[in-house]
Structure 1
Amino acid sequence: MNKSFLLMLSLAMFIACGKKENSDADFSKPTTDEATTQTDASSYDPKRGEGKFDKVDLGATLDQTMATEGQKVAEVKCTSCHKPTEEKLVGPGWKGVTERRTPQWIMNFATNPDPMIDKDPEVQAQLEICLVRMPNQGLKDEEARSVLEYMRKIDGVK
């Protein structure tokens, strides 16, 4: 019985160790994806963000109808993580965001947050504070624009 046990143990060790692959791999060099991300990050525009919005035209005054619609969208998709004050909930509060960020940055982040989370140093710093990556809520362009108008209302635009 000892011979059987030793034979099975030897066989198990042989199978577990298996064939070593990539023994010459150099893990200190970035992979192609990492190198691309580093290049992309260096060309990232922190005023615009990453996405399809190059320019967002805002009215001089608040579009109250759009802001009301934006509040409704926010209550469904945003306020479980964001407060309309400066207070952090899961994510940062929204008070003052339209003064700190350009409209196109807000629109790009709201509609496609993942590339910006990967490239924007300020968003990465915020992620270290909040510890939760903002999920893509699938906002349509019109919904994001309405939420932006709601943010403007929060910041006192009349």
Structure 2
Amino acid sequence: MIKAVLTIVAVGMFIGPSSAQASSDGEDLFKRKCYMCHRLSADFKVGPGLEGITVRRSEEWLHEWLEDPKAMLEKGDPAAVELVKKYKKVMKSVGAMKDEKNRRLIIDYLKENDKKRGVE
């Protein structure tokens, strides 16, 4: 019994901090690369508010969009085209988003935000 409890505690020590660290890394990356144009609420700044984005768009779509918004427009993605029509702007490519790990951090952070706001 004690061995089982110690195993659970040990696993929790490794899983918990990494999850919290990933959240912190995602928040930091969002603040450095996204916050100048976007808000986590539904409020518009330079670009649309991101509240509910992980419900409105698939994870695959978010990865593609973050990696290369212009390419999505060029291939005629309906959601990308609609965003440009609505906001009269094309999101600029962000070099850090070429890295899959960074896209994952941002998407996970946005999911966490939607969950906190009750948008699921």
Q: Same fold (TM over 0.5)?
A: yes
- Counterpart of 1:143 in structure 2 is 102
Q: For the aligned residues, what is the CA RMSD?
A: 1.4
What is the CA-CA distance between 1:103 and the residue it aligns to? 1.0
Q: How does 1:5-16 map to 2 (within 5 A)?
A: none
What is the CA-CA distance between 1:64 and the residue it aligns to? 3.2
How many Å separate the matches in 2 of 1:87 and 1:123? 19
How many Å separate the matches in 2 of 1:67 and 1:88? 24
How many Å separate the matches in 1 of 2:86 and 2:65? 18
Query: Considering only CA atoms, is the larger Rg found in Structure 1 or Structure 2?
Result: 1
Q: How does 1:89-108 map to 2 (within 5 A)?
A: 89-108=45-64
Task: Look up the equivalent residue of 1:86 and give its one-letter code.
Answer: A
Gaps of 5+ in 1: 1-62
- Number of residues paired by the alignment? 95
Q: Which has the larger helix fraction?
A: 2
- Counterpart of 2:16 in structure 1 is none
Q: Indicate yes or no: 2:79 matched with 1:128.
A: no
Q: Percent identity?
A: 24
CA contact (8 A) 1:90 1:132 kept: no
- Counterpart of 2:37 in structure 1 is 81
How many Å separate the matches in 1 of 2:86 and 2:45? 11
What is the CA-CA distance between 1:149 and the residue it aligns to? 0.7
User: Matched residue of 1:156: which SS?
Assistant: helix
What is the CA-CA distance between 1:144 and the residue it aligns to? 0.8
What is the CA-CA distance between 1:126 and the residue it aligns to? 1.5
Q: Alpha-carbon deviations, 1:118-154, whole Å to 9, x = none? A: 3112221211221221111011111110000110111
What is the CA-CA distance between 1:75 and the residue it aligns to? 0.9
